[in-house]
Amino acid sequence: MPQYKHHQKQAEAQESAIRVQGDYSEDRMSRENVSKPFVIGVAGGTCSGKTTVAERLVEVIGSEKLALIRQDAYYIDRTDQPFDVRAAANYDHPDAFDWDLMTDQLQLLIAGESVNIPIYDYADHNRSTEVEKITPSRIVVFEGILALIEPRLRSLFDLKIYVDTPADIRLTRRLRRDVLDRGRTYDSVINQYLLTVRPSHEQFIEPSKRFADVIFPEGGHNDAAFEILVARVRELLN
């Protein structure tokens, strides 16, 4: 893993429906080798709406044409740690992820091979014993909070998206999700947010916005931005 700087300049907040930045151009949306899948990386803070963007794409495009990989699947194996230690770990820090497995499996999928990705158990704070088989598709979407920070992984993306949502909205969504869907308590969610989630967002996730080709302000329900993305993906498929 590379060393990450503690003081990275944050990108400016965006007000448009979708912002195009960097060296992104329509030429990058076409492929010389049509057999190679088009890979989209979707990053953003906790509960920013990045999963919504990815899952809406699957619904619109179809699972037979689009493979979805979630970065959460690649949290490191903590079987050798007691539950209390696992529960207190910082899951928003780069060290929480298995970057080698993550990158290797995405490379295999791009090369046309099926991969068995881990399945993470949020209640147990550890990998489960089950895996999910992902088969090659024309479009591959990789989504996660730190999808854009690691150069080797980032180089595999043909299009890089950052979903940008205010912190108060993200915290409200996280409280609802973790209490209702992941079996957490209100106090544990707040403590985790203050101790690890917010500091890691400011140190690692927010600065990664500068690597994005396009930015979705206001999260995954930004219909104007989503329709632009869908139009480009359909153009690729046609």
Hey, how many other C-beta atoms are within 10 angstroms of the C-beta on 101? 16
Residue 17 has pLDDT above 60, yes or no: no
pLDDT confidence tier of residue 35, bands split at 50, 70 and 90: confident
Residue 177 has pLDDT above 90, yes or no: no
The average pLDDT across 37-53 equals 93
Within its chain, how far is the Cα of 28 from the centroid?
21
The reported pLDDT for the residue numbered 189 is 86
Query: 93-97, 185-189, 217-221: lowest mean pLDDT where?
Result: 217-221
Contact by Cβ (8 Å): 36, 140 = no
Helices (H), 62-218: 83-88, 99-110, 151-154, 167-180, 186-192, 198-200
User: In this predicted model, what pLDDT tens digit does every residue of 78-123 receive, in sequence order?
Assistant: 999 999 999 889 999 999 999 999 999 999 999 999 999 999 998 8
The average pLDDT across 12-22 equals 47
Q: Which domains are present in the chain? A: 35-237 (3.40.50.300)
CA angle 68, 34, 236 (to 5 degrees): 60
Within its chain, how far is the Cα of 88 from the centroid?
22
Average pLDDT, the chain: 86
The reported pLDDT for the residue numbered 16 is 44
The reported pLDDT for the residue numbered 192 is 85
The average pLDDT across 201-228 equals 90
Residue 23 has pLDDT above 70, yes or no: no
Q: What pairs with residue 184 in β-bridges? A: none
Within its chain, how far is the Cα of 7 from the centroid?
22
